[in-house]
Structure 1
């Protein structure tokens, strides 16, 4: 019996052990199966999201199709596919097994990110893509561009409501995508989230621009009554903060979408008889004097185009008696972009302007070919010819809109409206020509150049701007630095080979062939100027506060072939912080050992500065960057290494 009981107990133990073994094995199999299942769901979700991206491209292309019926059918079909794919991806990632797997270490964060990404995609599909598809066949790029010097304002206005919904939905989806925590995810998941963010940022910006255009254009083009606009043709051969001297002027009359060029003039005709100095803020006068309020050629000395627009409107009204509804600025580089859409344009004097030669012909060749007395007639003829080509209707609509977007992004097209409700909307776009605004972790400088030669030598001016930051102080406040390198590329014999009208002939104290430039650096909000150096040595520079920003200005003169770098240092988040400032211009009322402090009432809301990202793009959403006066040639930007041993304390 004892032996039988021992065998019974042993058998029972073996049975329990086997049961435990089977339970463990079953659990492992279940986990493996669940893992395989989740993996299959993840792959399917990925495939569905990728498929939706491809269908979204079809929706976008349908909006530019010329065949209205085909465009509408294609858009609706593609939108339906986008909806099906995104909803299937959402269903995959909201599965009960998936949600349970989100609790697992290491893997869980990746699954959460994918689920949140699918939710964002569904939101964008349901509330942006589907409404957008209804516009296909009804609204195309051609509706935003003139035909026979007329824009169909009712068609544009009718899309404003839908575009408002689309813009709001994409803005919300873009914000939600930014909130997805993917920094610790595996590469494929992280990359997918980054791609989603990029696509939504781009789509959100484009939808916002389309909505603003549909909302603003009808009224601005005279849908509710005639309008008149003053056009400033900024000449980059003689730089001003927002591009160049407004040498040629024109008035455009619009009435219910019909566009007419009614008058042309030269800024030189106005002299200094008019007076708009009462508009100038004291901070502007401290930096630029009262010239912007007296001479049309100098209204763009300050970098805020809203101020330039008001000054130009007032000077024009005093000189002509005509009150315009707004001011629009364009430069020859922007015209060259538009010529890609219109094709070559022949001007009355016989020249043919193309996208390739327009800048050289307008800003260089014309001065060598025509006496001063004939130059105004040449520019007027060129402006009329380009205006007719742009408004005639023969240009490629998509190429035209791309050209306008590029020019606006580079600050080469600027708009100010005298109607406050319109200006409020414009002020939130690159068309406004505002001082750069810093985002969280992304401080932005404004680097503005003004000609001090008194001539047209800036056709040969080249610029490189480097920006960087470092924490060099015990209080943890960052030192921000901007290095501006200018180069005079004029020929060695410029003094004799170029016309005196181009070199200035030494009239303003600058040797013929040399280029003199005033460089004004506007710091991010809440920053204070520390000092300005050339070759590591302190130099005298004007210190000021303008538009709530600390500003340092330095004048540089270069001989042909010469290049020189000046560096401006600022202290971030310096409200109420005392900083020793070297080389303060005594004309500003400060001694060389004065304190450069941003007053609290002018400091703005401030930013939380992040680490320099190494990006060179001035429009980058991350890192430190700068907007620079648009020159004849593009601006080169790069990172700057800030050495704390050499930094100004």
Structure 2
């Protein structure tokens, strides 16, 4: 049976059916997905690398600008101290430009983006903060500091301008505010999240600002009261008290010379020198004023019966209260404040003024002032009248050198700070603001009432020979503190040889002891609220002359006796009532420096 062949259409339809009946092959899409992701990661990595490189370059740029700025700050300091305000202004402009560039380097979307990343973000944020803080310091601190005229502090022609001091005070107010602002900003940085190099940089800047803060605050406070102290609102009278270290007393020495000084609207006028011989009631049976019974228990009532002895009390307000009573009875003029110095302080001042020639023809220099004023004068001028004339001439001449503008203000200020740190410069005023400025400092002459912030061991020496032989004594002190105990070792050495003693004039040897013998009363003050445990001299129990409580502290007094050149060692131990602040030693300022070592723990 024949059949009809399929048409072309039928053939096409059959082929299509066969094709449709077979399973379809899948398209391989995953390589394209992975490839796309990889390509995206590559693009992001390249972009991230580019951004990271840009941020890194910005960070290095900021660092470079900040380092250059720090060099400029040093130049500003040098120029100000040299009195070159033009150079200071130029260096200040360089600093401002560099810090502004450092801040600009930490801007832009790349930096903002990187700051949001984990780990690296906190470090970049810290870098930006340091840049901004430093830029703020350039504006608020460096620029005003560059305008400071230290010549405004000069005393020229016997006068210092209160108005110039007022203007200087406003500058320091701005500087102090800038430092406070910068410190507050740095304290907000969380250093725990930073890598070592960045954390170290933040810590370094914070440390430097922290060290600078008290200096600037003190300068601002001093300048704020200085115009009134200079008589801007009326005359002020100061009593300059000279203590002679060759006859040791707790606060320094026998206060035998006094110079009244009046300041009226900046003009400084000196009065007539007063000596101890001008006080006519020495040795009266009754003290010149009521005395603290605790002080009398330790030192005796002679602190109020003889003017050479009121500085035995190691508390400036008490000593000045006794002095004021003497002054009111025998001199009668007004006193607004008392400033105490010694010949060592004068030697520091002479470093600022240079040598001076006295009316006697003697030349005083920084090198010879101490031996000449404390020792040699008694051989050159054997009578009391001649000695008083010499000391009066020395006071007048040094006063003229300072008030004439001869002294460099920077060196003069440095010399006074040095003397204050050593307890040689003491100050007490009836002005509450001035008193507050020196509170809690060595300059106040007041040991802290408690040991909470600062522990104190007091080691004081008082001459018992009625002579000038303390000049031949040198003292060394070692001390330590724990929560339970405070220990101190005083090594006292006489360098007075038998040969030298045989050549001493009577005014140095005194009438009571042999020429080669030096008797001294050593007085030790322990921690506030503590008690005496033991005291020995050269390893043997010491003979206690008096003991008790004074100024809220345990006190003990013994005699240390030297026969010609020899050394004695006193060990004292006090119980402490508990933890206290870092230990400091307050001691009688001697003719030469007293080396002091303080250990944080006791062996």
Q: What is aligned with 1:413? A: 425
- 1:138-217 equivalence runs, <5 A: 139-171=148-180, 173=182, 192-193=201-202, 195-197=204-206, 199-217=208-226
Using a 3 Å threshold, how does the CA distance of structure 1 residues 351 and 573 change in structure 2: closer, same or farther? Answer: same
Measured after TM superposition, the shift of residue 165 of structure 1 is 3.5
Distance 2:258 2:70 in 1: 46
Residue deviations 1:16-51, cap 9 Å, x none?
A: 777787788788878877776665555444434333
* SS of residue in 2 equivalent to 1:423: helix
TM-superposition CA deviations, 1:134-191 (whole Å, max 9, x none):
xx1xx52222231111111121123323323323443565577689776998775566
Aligned to 1:600: none
Residue ranges of structure 1 left out of the alignment (5+ in a row)? 471-476, 575-605, 610-622, 645-649
Query: How many Å apart are 1:411 and its aligned residue?
Result: 2.4
C-alpha displacement of 1:58:
3.5
With 15-24 and 444-453 compared, the bigger mean Cα shift is at 15-24
Q: Deviations over 1:98-130 (max 9, x none)?
A: 6456x53xx898777756655654554444334
Q: Confirm whether residue 395 of structure 1 aligns to residue 407 of structure 2.
A: yes
Q: Which of 487, 492, 495 is residue 486 of structure 1 equivalent to?
A: 492
Task: Report the CA distance between 1:345 and its aligned residue.
Answer: 0.8
Q: How far apart in 2 are the matches of 1:494 and 1:184? A: 68
Q: Name 1:336's counterpart in structure 2.
A: 347
Q: How far apart are the structure 2 equivalents of 1:443 and 1:381?
A: 41
Question: Which residue is equivalent to 1:512?
Answer: 515
Following TM superposition, by how much is the alpha carbon of 1:259 offset from its aligned partner in structure 2, in angstroms? 1.2
CA distance in 1, matches of 2:410, 2:432: 30
Instruction: Show the counterpart of 2:589.
Output: 630
Residue 220 (structure 1) aligns with: 229
Q: TM-score, normalised by structure 1?
A: 0.77
- Aligned partners of 1:245, 1:628: CA distance in 2, in Å? 16
**Residues 316-357 of structure 1, C-alpha deviations (whole Å, 9 max, x = no match):** 111111121111111111111111222211112221111111
Distance 2:472 2:54 in 1: 65
Match of 1:58 in 2: 75
1:358 aligns with 2:369: yes
C-alpha distance 80-120 of structure 1, shift in aligned 2 (>3 A): closer
1:370 aligned residue = 381
CA positional deviation for 1:228: 1.7
Deviations 1:513-568 (A, max 9, x none): 23333333434555554333445555455544333334444432233332232233
Partner of 1:129: 142
Q: Distance in 2 between matches of 1:537 and 1:29?
A: 82
Matches within 5 A, 1:509-588: 511-525=514-528, 527-534=530-537, 538-541=541-544, 542-574=546-578
CA 1:211/1:110 → structure 2, altered by over 3 Å: closer, same or farther? same
**Distance (Å, rounded) in 1 between the aligned partners of 2:165 and 2:366:** 29
For the Cα contact (< 8 Å) 1:438–1:525, is it kept in 2? yes
Taking the aligned partners of 1:240 and 1:114, their CA distance within structure 2 comes to 56
* Number of equivalent positions: 577
Structure 2 gaps, min length 5 = 1-21
The 2-side partners of 1:181 and 1:553 are apart by 53
Equivalent residue of 2:349, what SS? helix
Give per-residue Cα distances to partners, 1:487-537, cap 9 Å, x unaligned.
Answer: 1122243442322322334x1xx5532333333343455555433344555
* Aligned residue in 1 for 2:323: 312
Partners of 1:220 and 1:71 in 2: CA distance: 32
Structure 1 residues 49, 3: closer, same or farther in 2, change over 3 A?
same
Secondary structure of the residue aligned to 2:475 is strand
Deviation at 1:379, TM superposition (A): 0.9
Tell me the distance in 2 between the aligned counterparts of 1:120 and 1:189. Answer: 15
Q: 1:500 to 1:483 in 2, by over 3 A?
A: same
State the alpha-carbon separation in 2 of the partners of residues 73 and 108 from structure 1. Answer: 36
SS in structure 2 at match of 1:400: helix
Does residue 500 in structure 1 map to residue 509 in structure 2? no
* Superimposed CA distance per residue, residues 229-270 of structure 1 (whole angstroms, 9 cap, x where no aligned partner): 111111111222222221111111222211122111212331
- Paired with 2:265 and 2:154, the residues of 1 have a C-alpha distance of 14
Q: 1:337 to 1:534 in 2, by over 3 A?
A: same
Rounded to whole Å, the distance in 1 between the matches of 2:595 and 2:219 is: 30
TM-score (norm 2): 0.82
Give CA deviations for 1:399-445 in whole Å, capped at 9, x if unaligned: 22222232233222222112233322343555323325889786443
Q: CA offset at residue 71 of structure 1?
A: 6.0
| CA-CA distance at 1:78 after TM superposition | 4.8
Equivalent residue, structure 2, for 1:231: 240
After superposition, the Cα gap between the structure-2 partners of 1:147 and 1:548, relative to the gap in structure 1 and judged at 3 Å, is same
Distance (Å, rounded) in 2 between the aligned partners of 1:176 and 1:483: 45
Q: CA RMSD in A?
A: 3.9
Distance in 1, Cα, partners of 2:517 & 2:428 = 34
Distance 1:62 1:517 in 2: 49
Question: Is 2:274 the counterpart of 1:265?
Answer: yes
Deviations 1:548-601 (A, max 9, x none): 334444432233332232233334443xxxxxxxxxxxxxxxxxxxxxxxxxxx
Max Rg structure? 2
